[in-house]
Amino acid sequence: MPRLYMVRHGQSEYNVARRFAGAGSDIELTAAGVRQAGLLRDRLASEKIDAVYSSNLKRAMSTAAVLSENRGMEIVSCPELGEIDYGAVEGKTFDEVSFEYPMLAKQIYGADPKIRFPGGESFEEFTGRGGRFLDRITKYDDAQTVLVVGHSGSIKTLVCRLLDIDINNHWGQIHIDNASLTVLETGKNGAIISLLNDTSHLR
């Protein structure tokens, strides 16, 4: 397995408005989000990157495009890296969900692993996609580096899977900010996290 540089997409309009933005909300970055991606691109300019994989959603692909500038690399689009499908909750605020779906709001607040979004995905279906993505990158070795651009949920899923952490119990305890960098080193004895949710390049 390669070293993984995992990046959450830059700021989107739904992030600013604190609205649920999942696989069903294919929205673009804000101007601030583009700037965030540019700052991270500059931070990674001297790093060797062997491949770039991104969620197929616009906000992630746009972030990956900025990060890949001047590298001449193809961005591999991966639906497996997309955010959870919130179904009927897409585009709503937490207050709106609390009013319309009070039981669902309690599950969201408690990071209930048994949650299923009406008209969308269950948590189990969503986290299952993470394993399918990891199958894609087994062709790389630990001397190589793969840049992965995704979402808060998909990055948390990969961190838990690679560190052999119980997703059901700990997924809700990891926070991933916009345009943050998380780095996982891999080797014979498994993965080691060397950076988690770092945003020092944005300051």
Question: Catalytic residue positions?
Answer: 9, 151
Q: Which residues does residue 86 pair with via DSSP β-bridges, in sequence order?
A: none
Rg (CA), the chain: 16
d(C-alpha 177, C-alpha 13), whole Å? 14
For residue 135, give every residue at least 6 positions away whose Cβ sits within 8 Å of its Cβ, in sequence order, or none.
none
Identify the CA nearest to 111 among candidates 80, 163, 81, 153.
Answer: 153
Q: Are 145 and 47 in contact (CB under 8 A)?
A: yes
